[in-house]
Amino acid sequence: MNLLDKRSLGLGLGAAVLACAVLPNVLSAYWIYLAISAMVGAVVMQSFGVIVGRAGVMSLCQMSFAAIGAWVVLRLNVAGAPGGLLVWLVLGGLAAVPVGVAIGLPALRIRGVNLAVVTFGFAVSTDIVLNADQFPGAEDLTMLERPEPFTGDAGYFVFTVIVFTVIAVALAALARTRLGLSWYELRHSERAAAAHGVSVARSKLAAFAISAFIAGVGGGLLAGQLSLVVPSNFAMGQSLALFAVAIMIGPHHPEGAVLGGVFGAVMATIMEKAHLPQDFGGVLFGAGALLALRGGMSQTDLTRTRKRERAARKLLEDAAGPDDALPAPPAPPVRAVPAAAPEPAGERRPCLDVRGLTVRFGEVVALDNVDLAVPEGAVVGLIGPNGAGKSTFIAAVTGFVAGYGGTVELDGRPLDRLGPAPRAGRGLRRTFQTTAIAPELTQYEYLTMGAGRRLPRAEADELLEFFGCPPGEAPVSIVDAGTRRLLDVAAAIAARPRAALLDEPAAGQSAAESLRFGARLTEVPERFGVSILLVEHDMELVQATCELVTVLDFGHVIASGPTRDVMDDPAVRAAYLGAADVPAS
């Protein structure tokens, strides 16, 4: 846990203790009631924080999950079930989970506005069902028994703060796990998450399940507050308004969840005092959400990211000394061939073996019967003009193209029936031409994500230094585009795959940086045990780095073999490189 996280946790726990000690003694009964409403709202906000704030999924039915939790708690109360409110809250949350998973299933195929429509449809259906009957206990006015010593309103406020804090601590711990980090990745790019071996389906369903559980607990807490709840407590309009608050504030951070809860609780009072219709509050939330969407970040994300950036900049300045902005990365010597190559690459066992790869996009034949092998411990180049099929090759080999012809084998095992995440799990990693790294993550977190395991600091530091990236505490948001590509490569290598397929990793770098990167790349097989396929337009980099090269043109292999031979091939020079562009070999 870094210093900022520790400080945030300490501050949060301190604030919770202070709120419990002070507020019940200074607030009037009316304001204590509102404070309970704010904390109940904050718990529901935490559920938005998981699904909307972290996973970036547009869910408009969180109040429906809350209604399930409330219903279960009230039913257990009426039945006089053992355990009391605390146990009933957990059962209410658990009852919402299968429904959350069922609602999450369409999210595996659809996203964005279409998914929002599906979840809103569920909210509407729940509204209809709830209005058809009363909540348990409403008919004979059965009051809900709160647990000792939280029976009074002041005590119940403390109870809600405790529940909120327990969930906040659990979520903070979860945020540091692979699942928690994968939600941030999903929010920015499902493809990038899959390339890191994340099962997008499992990760999304887990987000729905956990957020439904928390919303169910929130609904149960509301039942504990009111005893007699009515369908309008969970109306679809509430889900919509709270969704807007979530987008605006960012309830995936505890302070955002509390702020959202407070807004929800006091907005009606503020509107009343301002002689405005209550629905006007929803309009304000909507306007705030639009502003946040335009800015690309919620308010709490913005505040936290700025704080992290300030701390990281200071770290960088301290590391660089007075004269340099960034520490100069060590420059390993340029070598054309890995030192440990025991025999020419062409004669070594292929680690990745692709045979007869054919990909069609409608009438376009992007790849036609392409053979390519990456020998164990080699750096192999794949070059060709724009549109030749290089990125398609990487996409198909790593499982991002459904229905290709030919075979892909890693260490002799066929991968053709597997999707991207299992292929990554088997040891086949890739990077993308356009990086989509979540800017909220630190570099350490991103490397952990890529590694797919707990990454010791020393190992992460070694990787970052090796690829010339800033210190690991630096958030991705302050890392420039060129360095992000290197970070992407470092994250792929962190997984220690058998082979990494790199799509133009040096794009946007100066000639000197590119050569320095190439020098590092030649060391990768020996140092990290990873064979490399390098797609590049920079011919100097390819010549300095690759033992073997394959040239594609219009989806066909026009040459393949040792780099020097291929570069000297008149057909290659004529068809692609243009003799003048090729440095003399």
Ligand X SMILES: Nc1ncnc2c1ncn2[C@@H]1O[C@H](COP(=O)(O)OP(=O)(O)OP(=O)(O)O)[C@@H](O)[C@H]1O
Options 94-102, 156-164, 199-207, 388-396: segment touching ligand X (CB under 6 A): 388-396
Is residue 431 part of the contact set for ligand X (CB under 6 A)? Answer: no
Query: DSSP assignment of 340-402, as one string?
Result: T--S-GGGSPEEEEEEEEEEEETTEEEEEEEEEEEETT-EEEEE-STTSSHHHHHHHHTT-SS
The residue to which tokens 């300045």 are assigned: 317
Task: Examine residue 391 and tell whether it contacts ligand X (CB under 6 A).
Answer: yes
| CB closer to ligand X out of 234 and 576 | 576
Residue 364 as a binder of ligand X (CB under 6 A): the answer is yes
At residue 406's C-alpha, the angle toward residues 403 and 407, to 5°, is 100
Q: CB under 6 A: which stretch of 126-134, 216-224, 313-321, 383-391 binds ligand X? A: 383-391
If binding is defined by CB under 6 A, does position 386 make contact with ligand X?
yes
Q: Which stretch binds ligand X (CB under 6 A): 11-19, 287-295, 381-389, 468-476?
A: 381-389
Q: Which of 147, 155, 327, 387 binds ligand X (CB under 6 A)?
A: 387
Nearest distance, CB of residue 398 and ligand X, angstroms: 13
Based on C-alpha coordinates, what's the Rg of the chain? 28
Q: Is 361 in the site for ligand X (CB under 6 A)?
A: yes
CA dihedral 563, 568, 574, 580 (to 10 degrees): 100
Nearer to ligand X, 245 or 501 (CB): 501
Residue with tokens 């529901």: 44
Contact letters for ligand X, residues 306-345 (x by CB under 6 A): ----------------------------------------
- Is the preceding peptide bond at 342 cis, omega within 30 degrees of 0? no
Q: Which is nearer to ligand X, 392 or 509 (CB)?
A: 392
In degrees, rounded to 5, the angle at the alpha carbon of residue 136 between the alpha carbons of residues 135 and 139 is: 85
Q: Least CB distance from residue 537 to ligand X, whole Å?
A: 7
Instruction: Please list every residue from 118 through 137 that binds ligand X, using CB under 6 A.
Output: none
- Cα–Cα separations (whole angstroms), residue 286 to 12, 247, 292, 443: 28, 9, 10, 33
Q: Across-strand partners of 392?
A: none
What's the rounded Cα separation, in Å, for the pair 424 and 194? 8
Taking CB under 6 A as the binding criterion, the range among 206-214, 311-319, 330-338, 380-388 that sits at the site for ligand X is: 380-388
Asked whether 389 and 359 are in contact (CB, 8 A), the reply is yes
Contact segment (CB under 6 A) with ligand X among 17-25, 326-334, 342-350, 379-387 equals 379-387
**Contacting ligand X (CB under 6 A), which of 32, 50, 244, 366?**
366
403 makes contact with ligand X (CB under 6 A): no
- Only segment of 4-12, 152-160, 215-223, 360-368 that touches ligand X (CB under 6 A): 360-368
- By beta-carbon proximity to ligand X, the closer residue of 286 and 387 is 387
Q: How far apart are CA 269 and CA 263, in angstroms?
A: 10
Residue 513 CA to residue 497 CA, distance in Å, equals: 25
H and E: helices and strands count for the chain: 22, 10
Work out which of 389, 439, 470, 472 binds ligand X, going by CB under 6 A.
389
**Shortest Cβ distance from residue 401 to ligand X (Å)?**
8
CB of 563 to ligand X, least distance (A): 19
When asked if residue 399 is in the footprint of ligand X (CB under 6 A), the reply is no
In the bound complex, what is the minimum distance in angstroms from residue 392's beta carbon to ligand X?
Answer: 3
Q: For 223, what's the count of Cα atoms within 13 Å in the CB-facing half-sphere?
A: 36
CA distance 235 to 63: 7
Residues 6+ apart with CB under 8 A from 243: 48, 52, 58, 59, 60, 62, 289
Using the rule CB under 6 A, give the single segment among 79-87, 299-307, 386-394, 557-565 that binds ligand X: 386-394
Give, for 534, the enclosing helix (H) or strand (E): strand 531-535
Smallest gap from Cβ 383 to ligand X, in A, equals 9
CA angle 287, 290, 292 (to 5 degrees): 110
| Cβ distance to ligand X smaller for residue 167 or 366 | 366
Least Å from the CB of residue 395 to ligand X? 7
Token digits of residue 88: 């009933």
Contact between 205 and ligand X by CB under 6 A: the answer reads: no
Shortest Å, Cβ 335 to ligand X: 27
Residue 539 found at the interface with ligand X (CB under 6 A): no
Please, what is the Cα angle at 296 between 206 and 175, to 5 degrees? Answer: 30
Tell me how far, at minimum, the Cβ of 356 lies from ligand X, in Å: 17
**384 part of the interface to ligand X, by CB under 6 A:** yes
Report how many residues bind ligand X under the rule CB under 6 A. 11
Q: Which residues bind ligand X (CB under 6 A)?
A: 361, 364, 366, 384, 386-392
